[in-house]
Each structure stands twice: as C-alpha cells, then as structure tokens.
Amino acid sequence: MAVLMRLISLILIVIALMLLGADAVSSLERGGELVVRSLGTVWGILNQHSLDAFKSWVQNHTPALAQGVYSFLALPGWAATGVLGVILAFVFGRRLGPE
C-alpha cells in the first residue's frame, strides 16, 4: 500500500511540475504577462462536458458545498496537485528501520 501511495505522490508531483512549466511557457509567449491555469481550466481543456456535468451535479445535489467546490476548482492546477503530492510523499515516505 505504501509503495502505491508513493507512486501516486510521484505522479501528482510530476503533473504539478508539468502544469507549472506550461504556465511558465505560456507566460513567456505572452511577453511576460502572468498566466496561471486553474484546476477548472485544466479539467475543461481535458473534457469540458464532464466539467459542466460535475458543476451542474454539485449545484443541484449539494448546494451548500457548491461554493467550496468552485473555490477548489479556482486553485492553480500546479498548486492543487503539487501540494497533495508532497503531503502524500511525506506521509508515505520510506521508513528507516533498525539495520
């Protein structure tokens, strides 16, 4: 289980670095104007229909949590995946036992 969680944390960290690099390249392309893609924007790039369906579901089934979900989707994509990946890496890191 720990090995699987370490692999997931590594994948999340790699995705965060890729998103950060994409934001940096987009910022350079726009002449230094800062570009930060939110988690919702990244999801929309991958599949806009599923993002719209998820937002509709949240709004209709859990309206009390809708604002929190929308706030989460507004986070920078690299921050959401990177922070979760680093936390998982620390929690499930290698344990040094007696040698």
Residue 36 CA neighbour count, 13 Å, CB half: 10
> Looking at the chain, which runs of residues are DSSP E strands?
none
Residue 85 is predicted with a pLDDT of: 95
Q: What are the pLDDT digits (tens) for 62-78?
A: 999 999 999 999 999 99
Question: DSSP label at 75?
Answer: S
Reduce the DSSP state of residue 99 to 3 states and report it.
coil
Helix (H, G, I), strand (E, B) or coil at 38: strand
Closest by CA to 80, choosing from 5, 8, 15, 10, is: 15
pLDDT of residue 1: 85
